Each structure stands twice: as C-alpha cells, then as structure tokens.
Structure 1
Amino acid sequence: MPLTFDVDGVVLDIEGTTSATGFVVDVLYPYSRSRFGALLAERGDDPEVRRAVAQVRELLGEPDADPVRVERALNEWLDGDVKATPLKTLQGLIWSEGFGRGDLVSHFYDDVVPVLRRWHSGGVRLHVYSSGSVAAQRAWFASSPDGDLLPLVDGLYDTENAGPKQEPESYRRIAAATGTEAGRLLFLSDRPGELDAARAAGWHAVGIRRAGEPYFEQGVGDHAQAGSFDEIDIIGGGTSSGSGASTSGSST
C-alpha cells in the first residue's frame, strides 16, 4: 500500500535517497581528493575558489594558511565525512569539471527517475537539498545515465544557501524560497536527523530505507518509511501524479 501525500512540492536528498552513498564515497570522493591541489594552484584567483579558501582558513582559525595546509584540511574533512561548506564548494567545482569532460556519470537508483518524471508531469515541483554544493547537484542531475534531468528540478539547495540539514530553520528558508507553505512540502531522506528537522518546520517527511545504505540498520525513527520511490504517491500539484494504485493516507 503506497504512502499518499497531498503536496505541491517534493524536496530530495541525494546520498542514500536518490543515489547510492557508495558511489559518492568510492568514486566522487577519490576524484576530488586527487584534484584539490591542482584546483588550488590553477584556479586560486577564481572568486569562488578564493571565497572557499577564505572559509577554510576561518574554520581552521589560521588566516595565513597556505595552499598545502588548506589541501591537508580538505583531505582531513573528507576522511571524517565533515559536511564543511568550503569542502563541498570545492568538490562541486571539481565534480562539475569531471562531469563536463565525461569523466564522471552520476548514479540514480532504478526506481527514482521514472517516478520523478511522473511526479513532474503531474505538476509537482521537485527540489533538491543536499550537503553537496549547488554546483555539484547541478552537474549530478545534468549528467545522469538517463540524460539531463535538470529540466525536472525547480530548485537546488545546499548548506550555504539554506543552512545545515539538521536544523528546522533551513527547511523554513527553503519553504520561503519556493513560495510553498510548509504543509505542502514533502522531504525524502535516509537520515533521521534531517527528517526530524523537516517535520519540526511543518513539512511532511518520509524516510527512504535502502538495503546496503549506511543508515538502513539505524532506521528512520517514527517517520513513515519507504524502500523505493514507487511506494510513494503524490496527489498534489494540481493533478494526481500517483500510480493509481490503492493508497493509505499518511501525514508524517
């Protein structure tokens, strides 16, 4: 019995939700690690790189940190899976170049893209909220095995333009930016802390639990849960975008 939600917008996490965390960790992280030094050396004067480096120095409390120290900090944060905004910014620049060159092709679980297309065609507005930078999100959706998926997406949000993912205020900012009432938004994520924050902001929330993902065994607390996007029906956006199957209502 699918979970049914009457909403106007769906906001998507990426890692563990639309896509395999293993792909990010095993493919994208090493790719960025091998290119941090070159990015800092070759594009150090680019405004976005310069701003990110200034943020690294601020977080370190070392205003005079040289590129070698900055690169070491980036690698340490990468090892610790620290969601530092400048790390995500620089990774996003590197990944964008990699996707643009064809070095990288993103990953989506098989159930995701058909459902996103169905929801979109039904008038539901789709947004992305990930700890990865907006640049990385844009490259990810533009370089999928199914082609460019960016036309399906209305908005991209990260920890810089929205805020930390486990703080309710971040979800309030996204609701305001989309012009959508909190109760008309649904958030999909595999992380219980993020689901808690979305619900505290007045959103609907569903935990996505996929076998093999890091948060699968932990579960999603008292949130509604689904093993794939096929288990969720949306009847908002001005027209039904569900599968037409029998449904059971849920407001969690």
Structure 2
Amino acid sequence: MRNSTSPAVKVILLDIEGTTTPVDYVFGVLFPYAKERAGEFLQRQGQEESVQADLKLLRQEYETERAVGLAEKLPAWEGDAPAAVVPYIHYLIEIDRKSTGLKSFQGKLWNQGYQDGTLRSQVFPDVKPAFERWTAAGKQLYIFSSGSVQAQQLLFRYSEAGDLTQFLSGYFDTQIGMKREPESYRKIAAEIGVSPAEILFVSDVVPELEAARSAGMHGLFSLRPGNYTSDSEGFPVVRSFNEIQEI
C-alpha cells in the first residue's frame, strides 16, 4: 500500500513510540534506566532549580491524587529530601502516566545516559531515509510526544542512525496539551503557522489520530513490529515510512 502526501501537505508531524522508535526501546531501555538511576540522580542533583521545578509539579500531581481519594493506591512520599519522590516516580513509570513533571525529570536523567554513551536511541531503518526524502521535497518535520522536548531532542540527536535533529524543525510535548485533545493539534498548527489541513500526523494511537482529525489534520496509523494494536479503526495504515510518498 502506498500513501501519498499531496503538495497541500506542508508539515509531517510524528509520534515517537511505535512510529519512529520501537516500543521496546522505550519500555525495555529508557524506563528501566530511569527507574534504576532516579535515586542516585536526585541525591546528586536534586537541589538544582530545574529539578526542583519538576519535583514541585510531581508533588502537585501527588496531592491532587490524594485529594480525590486515591491515597491507598499511592506509594508513600515521606519527608522533603529530593530522593523521597523516588517511590512515586517508580509508580508513575510503571503505569506509564503521561505526567509533565515525570517526563521533564526523565529528560534530565536520560541526558546523562546519552552524554556518557550508555544510551543510544533506536529508530526504525526507514526513518533516516524518509527524513532525507521529505525535507528534500520541502516538507517540514515536527515531533509531538508525551516525552519532554529535551527527551525528544536527545533521542534524535543520539540515535544509532546518527544525529537526526538536522531534519527536524521543532518539537512539541504535553506543555502544549495532551495528545488526545483536539485543541492540542490546533495549537500546534497555530504555533507552526500553517492550517491544520496542511499537516499530516502519523501515530500508532487511534485516539490521538482522532483528535488530530477533529482539529482538521490528516492522519496515518503506524503499524510497527511490537506495537500494542493492529486495529487502525479505519485510518490508513503504514508499516514503513517508505509507504509515504510525495506526489
């Protein structure tokens, strides 16, 4: 199957997990790395202003959960030491919570791993050639992920395929809105400065595609090895970026 992006499509907006990057890299490498090193990182850098900002967001989230009667499900957060948040961080990672505070914290933690060479991100083999092809055709490429902008930049800068940030025009995370809300996609279009109808969004999550479609964007369902579902619920399916061709 070949899907074509018409000349009217000026921007290709991409999800990461299950679209550019194997799900297993996120759940099998990045998340365990964050769980294993969170305590050590907080002992060393927990008093830094930017880390304290993340901890403030996490504390607000924790107290909100307690206020709505979820205290029995939550791990204890005892004391004011930065490392006291670790059980809650582990809890959020285990349930894959799309938490802005957690994602921002993880970006800082992963930065260390990428810098020292412990981490090298995985992308599917067709990603780099597609980036080259699309940018040569005049398309702008953007990322929209629940991971922080910092985490996104690190993933594409330190990939096994080399530095792919040269092909990317920008990044969006949950600071602009949640991925299942149409308003997030309207804001992205406004930020880029194009009509939603000029944007193609590729994701492996149908509710995200539905939100983007509600905002006026085009959508393709990414079906990659290891993804959670093969049910595109009517969205056109791509198994490789090689199937997305310009006309």
**Structure 2 length normalisation: TM-score?**
0.90
Distance in 1, matches of 2:50 and 2:182, equals 27
| Uncovered stretches (5+) of structure 1, i.e. residues with no partner | 236-252
Matched residue, 1:208: 222
Selected match of 1:126 from 137, 141, 157: 141
Give a deviation string over 1:172-230, Cα, whole Å, max 9, x none: 111111111110000000000100000011000100112321123xx121211111111
Matched residue, 2:179: 165
Residue pair 2:222, 2:238 contacting (<8 A) in 1 also = yes
Distance in 2, matches of 1:234 and 1:45, equals 49
Identity, in percent, stands at 38
Residue pair 1:10, 1:186 contacting (<8 A) in 2 also = yes
Selected match of 1:104 from 119, 144, 168: 119
Give a deviation string over 1:9-40, Cα, whole Å, max 9, x none: 00110000011010111111111111111222
**CA shift at 1:65, angstroms?**
5.5
Residue pair 1:126, 1:152 contacting (<8 A) in 2 also = yes
Richer in helix (by share): 2
**CA shift at 1:64, angstroms?**
8.0
Answering whether residue 225 of structure 2 is matched by residue 223 of structure 1, we say no
Distance in 1, matches of 2:49 and 2:215, equals 34
Distance in 1, matches of 2:12 and 2:49, equals 32
Selected match of 2:40 from 38, 41, 44: 38
Q: Aligned with 1:34: secondary structure? A: helix
Distance in 2, matches of 1:214 and 1:127, equals 23
Larger mean Cα displacement after TM superposition, 82-91 or 66-75? 66-75
Residue pair 2:204, 2:221 contacting (<8 A) in 1 also = yes
Distance in 2, matches of 1:55 and 1:145, equals 33
Residue pair 1:57, 1:64 contacting (<8 A) in 2 also = no
Larger mean Cα displacement after TM superposition, 48-57 or 66-75? 66-75
Matched residue, 1:82: 97
Selected match of 2:202 from 163, 183, 188: 188
| Uncovered stretches (5+) of structure 2, i.e. residues with no partner | 67-76
Matched residue, 2:26: 24
- Cα RMSD between the aligned structures? 1.5
Distance in 2, matches of 1:47 and 1:117, equals 38
**CA shift at 1:41, angstroms?**
2.0
